[in-house]
A and B are shown apart, each in its own frame.
Chain A
Amino acid sequence: DIQMTQFPSTLSASVGDTVTITCRASQSVGYLLAWYQHIPGNAPKLLIYGASILDGGVPSRFSGSGSETDFTLTISGLQPSDSATYYCQHYSSYPETFGPGTKVEI
């Protein structure tokens, strides 16, 4: 199975800041990497797929990059509504594993 790691595990920032979350795969997943935002009590929300493609309706302050084993999610101009846990997920093979999550506190 492909193992996914994320860092940092927790991140504290202020409104307006730019933050970056890193996701690393234990072996190459190409560009088959998605990012999700999860606010407790809510349904998880797809932000990015294909490592860098923004899903419909997702604000442009979210961006993704990377390929193979190293990926980043960047949030520019942090908003209070961005307080959440962010998960990366590869979909290159089964099982499709998630990273452990990065909690963003604002």
Chain B
Amino acid sequence: EVQVVDSGGGLVQPGGSLRLSCTTSGFTFSDYAVTWVRQAPGKGLEWVGFIRDRTYGRTTEFAASVKGRFSISRDDSRGFALMQMNSLTTEDTGVYYCARSRTRPGEKYYFDSWGQGTLVTVSS
């Protein structure tokens, strides 16, 4: 059974940092990209960024709102990904989801298995 578990959220002051984890099991992690999506309170889903799988060089892409502040890494041997979030602002408050991401040749990624979400609160 495919399992995706996101964790690491919490309360952090503006300007602070936090690291989220995405732990997986039940599939060959190295064959898939991992995407982070967030949901601010009362708002819809927002694509944050992702890391490609080994076939595509484990490279990353980010939304303009987090570029330069967030980074994503992965450990294929242990089946998890990490998102490092720096210089956090109140605008970064929300539930963060990681998702296993699929693609087909010539296409970008859609998300077929999601975690339950981890809450990040940026407040003084």
Contacts and interface: CB of A to CB of B under 8 A. Distances in A.
Interface of A: 32, 34, 36, 38, 41-46, 49, 55, 87, 89, 91-101
B91 interface: no
13 contacts: A32-B107, A32-B108, A34-B110, A43-B4, A44-B37, A45-B114, A49-B110, A55-B112, A89-B111, A91-B110, A93-B108, A95-B64, A99-B44
Given A96-B108, A96-B109, A89 B45 contact: yes
Q: Is the interface of A mostly helix, strand, loop or mixed?
A: loop
B61 to A, nearest CB: 5
Contacts of A34: 110-111
Given A44-B97, A49-B110, A95 B63 contact: yes
A10 B110 CA distance: 24
Contact of B115 (A38, A43, A55, A98): A43
Interface residues of B, number: 23
Contacts of A43: 4, 97, 113-117
A94 B61 CA distance: 8
Interface string B1-19: 0001000000000000000
Contacts of B56: none
B47 interface: yes
A78 B112 CA distance: 23
B114 A98 contact: no
A92 B106 CA distance: 9
A97 B114 contact: no
A84 to B, nearest CB: 13
Contacts of A95: 47, 63-64
A49 B108 CA distance: 12
A89 B46 CA distance: 10
Interface in B73-124: 97, 99, 102, 107-117
